[in-house]
Chain A
């Protein structure tokens, strides 16, 4: 192990524990988006939905999704990249954030919904990430032909992601892409609430009859509530992944009800600037 690698391990270790303390202290609602592709649009869709519902929302910065990025995202800090001085400052700030137990820092009205992308490169990566943070909700996207170098098969990647489902609490939510057999198969890994989305016949939040128009994608959205609800939706973006993102947005809207009282409380206390 060279000096750089040793320094990285030390930073990683410190950040992991500071992030764990910060989570234990602030108790955010954690939504994890995982899979090999499409994470970024799903993450955006969840963020939009939660903001529509007036929740305090924070997402991880792009590519802050692995062993160092996840704690930095939790602590809302930038990366020091290759600069030792910068890392020193970041670790100091991380310590202050994690160990600030003043009343102001513990205000429940500041409790956030934290949306985190999680990425894996090698086996056991997910176990490490779960040792830092455990999700309240998991949205699984796809398992496609990447990351195969260290996993040998896509099935092995699927098993790595399955650890997320198993990590959910009894009152969690597992949202699965019904069109990806490896993902939809994860439903058996969790005994709590499982919601499926996609084009498949058995998807609970379903897209039907997709059409491409000159300005984007159009599809019929179907969901079985008390009665079957069905109406056409239009997205000004191109690509099926935007349809999937829209379905996940609907799942979030369905599961997170509006919080007008909390919103107005926060507004009265001038806390909205923190969003």
Chain B
């Protein structure tokens, strides 16, 4: 029998969304699954957006690259972080980071140069975005014992003549790892030598803890000599509690961006203009709100780790230094999908099975501490009760 849509048959709906769909059917469920901040978009952003709306500024397309005012603001913000990019030719405003990533992947994947290296574990949608772009995801395991850090030898073994690029989040989702400068420079060295692109997704850059607290995240995009090799993606979703606004941006050297913008134009024409006005207000006026989110996440991280410590017979984990996820290992080793289903059905707590983040994620769960402290406490009470019932 002829298979309908053979290409998309190979693409999966994000397991995070699958879990959320299942969770939605269960009354009184607590979800620590999706990486949605518990906060509402800051007032200052909403007010500026309403003003733009009422002034009749949002009904028409913007330039494909995005509103010039917004891109100017982005250039300024990047400069504050030591990254120098030209707002006129090197920054494109996108419909969230996943659009930026997909457009970048479509740009760099070409013919036999179709392999994209992903860390395992890494964000579930990366592998699907690679497939959408006609590429092949190639997983490189992170080393759990050393805090889910980079295994350079493992990476070197996976780089071939077909490698088009490497895509990773820093800090990493789901492990919260902040990759060291030394490791990132090794990736850059390899990319230069083997001529592949680096797509660095830094949506969680503003949420750093412990030894990284108060520091600016090191990015390969800060090194001018690497600007033709590095494509950096950022989204306002997490930093400014704007997941529903679908707004982000991508920047790189002009010679790379002028190709990415063609894909962006074909896919979305331009990012939603109303969200572009919101983004402008966020970048200009909402840093205090973001700092408030950061300190709240820092507190929730400690609370979450405390709960996991109380359940040390069932979980072991590496402390996350960034983002708002922890990725505990199940003790004894279990099938993560089976366990997540069971937890959802019996304890009414939604978490994401580790296998969703790549083969090396099996036997783990992703728990988000982006939710409220009350939700976190209630979810862990239920998990504790579940384990007691199992005993």
Q: Do A and B bind each other?
A: yes
Is A146 touching B68 in the complex (CB atoms < 8 A)? yes
Is A36 touching B68 in the complex (CB atoms < 8 A)? yes
Is B57 touching A238 in the complex (CB atoms < 8 A)? no
Q: Do A63 and B284 form a contact, CB below 8 Å, given A150-B56, A239-B90? A: yes
Which residues of chain A have C-beta atoms less than 8 A from B225's C-beta? 214-215
Q: Do A82 and B88 form a contact, CB below 8 Å, given A40-B76, A121-B55, A145-B63? A: no
Q: Do A37 and B86 form a contact, CB below 8 Å, given A63-B284, A121-B55, A216-B224? A: no
Is B224 touching A149 in the complex (CB atoms < 8 A)? no
Q: Which residue of B lies closest to A38 (CB)?
A: B72
Tell me which residues from 33 to 56 in chain A have a Cβ below 8 Å from any Cβ of chain B: 36-38, 40
Tell me which residues from 301 to 353 in chain B have a Cβ below 8 Å from any Cβ of chain A: none
Is B84 touching A237 in the complex (CB atoms < 8 A)? yes
Interface string of A139-168 (1 = CB under 8 A from B): 000001110011000000000000000000
Is B90 touching A62 in the complex (CB atoms < 8 A)? no
Question: What's the Cα separation between A216 and B72 when bound, in Å?
Answer: 17
CB of B161 closer than 8 Å to a CB of A: no
Q: Do A146 and B90 form a contact, CB below 8 Å, given A63-B284, A214-B225? A: no
Which residues of chain B have C-beta atoms less than 8 A from A38's C-beta? 72
CB of A20 closer than 8 Å to a CB of B: no
Interface string of B52-77 (1 = CB under 8 A from A): 00011100100100011100100110
Question: What's the Cα separation between A145 and B273 when bound, in Å?
Answer: 14
Q: How far is the CB of B269 from the nearest CB of chain A, in Å? A: 15
Is A236 touching B57 in the complex (CB atoms < 8 A)? no
CB of A227 closer than 8 Å to a CB of B: no
Which residues of chain A have C-beta atoms less than 8 A from B254's C-beta? 212
CB of B123 closer than 8 Å to a CB of A: no
Interface string of B70-98 (1 = CB under 8 A from A): 00100110010000111111100000000
Tell me which residues from 222 to 244 in chain A have a Cβ below 8 Å from any Cβ of chain B: 236-241
Is B72 touching A236 in the complex (CB atoms < 8 A)? no
Q: Which residue of A lies closest to B71 (CB)?
A: A37
Which residues of chain B have C-beta atoms less than 8 A from A62's C-beta? 284
Q: Do A146 and B67 form a contact, CB below 8 Å, given A82-B47, A214-B225, A239-B75? A: yes
Which residues of chain A have C-beta atoms less than 8 A from B85's C-beta? 238-239
CB of A209 closer than 8 Å to a CB of B: no
Q: Which residue of A lies closest to B225 (CB)?
A: A214
Q: How far is the CB of A12 from the nearest CB of chain B, in Å? A: 15
Which residues of chain A have C-beta atoms less than 8 A from B90's C-beta? 238-239
Q: Which size class do A's interface residues fall under? A: 20 to 34
Which residues of chain A have C-beta atoms less than 8 A from B44's C-beta? 81
Which residues of chain B have C-beta atoms less than 8 A from A37's C-beta? 68-69, 72
Question: What's the Cα separation between A40 and B72 when bound, in Å?
Answer: 8
Q: How far is the CB of B231 from the nearest CB of chain A, in Å? A: 15
Interface residues of B, CB < 8 Å — how many?
27
CB of B43 closer than 8 Å to a CB of A: yes
Q: Which residue of B lies closest to A147 (CB)?
A: B57
Q: Do A214 and B224 form a contact, CB below 8 Å, given A36-B68, A81-B44, A238-B84? A: yes
Interface string of B254-287 (1 = CB under 8 A from A): 1000000000000000000000000000001000
Question: What's the Cα separation between A237 and B76 when bound, in Å?
Answer: 11
Is A146 touching B84 in the complex (CB atoms < 8 A)? no
Which residues of chain A have C-beta atoms less than 8 A from B75's C-beta? 239
Question: What's the Cα separation between A219 and B282 when bound, in Å?
Answer: 35
Question: What's the Cα separation between A37 and B67 when bound, in Å?
Answer: 10
Is B63 touching A241 in the complex (CB atoms < 8 A)? no
Interface string of A80-114 (1 = CB under 8 A from B): 01100000000000000000000000000000000
Which residues of chain B have C-beta atoms less than 8 A from A236's C-beta? 84
Which residues of chain A have C-beta atoms less than 8 A from B63's C-beta? 145
Q: Which residue of A lies closest to B67 (CB)?
A: A146
Question: What's the Cα separation between A38 and B79 when bound, in Å?
Answer: 15
Which residues of chain A have C-beta atoms less than 8 A from B86's C-beta? 238-241
Which residues of chain B have C-beta atoms less than 8 A from A63's C-beta? 284
Which residues of chain A have C-beta atoms less than 8 A from B72's C-beta? 37-38, 40
Question: What's the Cα separation between A240 and B69 when bound, in Å?
Answer: 16
Question: What's the Cα separation between A239 and B71 when bound, in Å?
Answer: 12
Q: Which residue of A lies closest to B76 (CB)?
A: A40
Which residues of chain B have C-beta atoms less than 8 A from A145's C-beta? 63, 68
Which residues of chain B have C-beta atoms less than 8 A from A150's C-beta? 56
Which residues of chain A have C-beta atoms less than 8 A from B55's C-beta? 121, 149
Question: What's the Cα separation between A237 and B82 when bound, in Å?
Answer: 11
Which residues of chain A have C-beta atoms less than 8 A from B69's C-beta? 37, 146
Specify which of A38, A40, A238, A239 lies most central, judged by the most chain B CB atoms within 10 Å of its CB.
A238
Q: Which residue of B lies closest to A81 (CB)?
A: B44
Q: Which residue of A lies closest to B47 (CB)?
A: A82
Q: Which residue of B lies closest to A144 (CB)?
A: B68
Question: What's the Cα separation between A149 and B44 when bound, in Å?
Answer: 23
A-B contact pairs, 6 of them (CB 8 A): A37-B68, A216-B84, A216-B224, A237-B79, A241-B86, A241-B87
- A sample of 10 more A-B contacts (CB under 8 A), given A40-B72, A121-B55, is A82-B47, A145-B68, A146-B68, A212-B254, A236-B84, A238-B84, A238-B227, A239-B89, A239-B90, A241-B86
Binding site for A on B (CB under 8 A): 43-44, 47, 55-57, 60, 63, 67-69, 72, 75-76, 79, 84-90, 224-225, 227, 254, 284
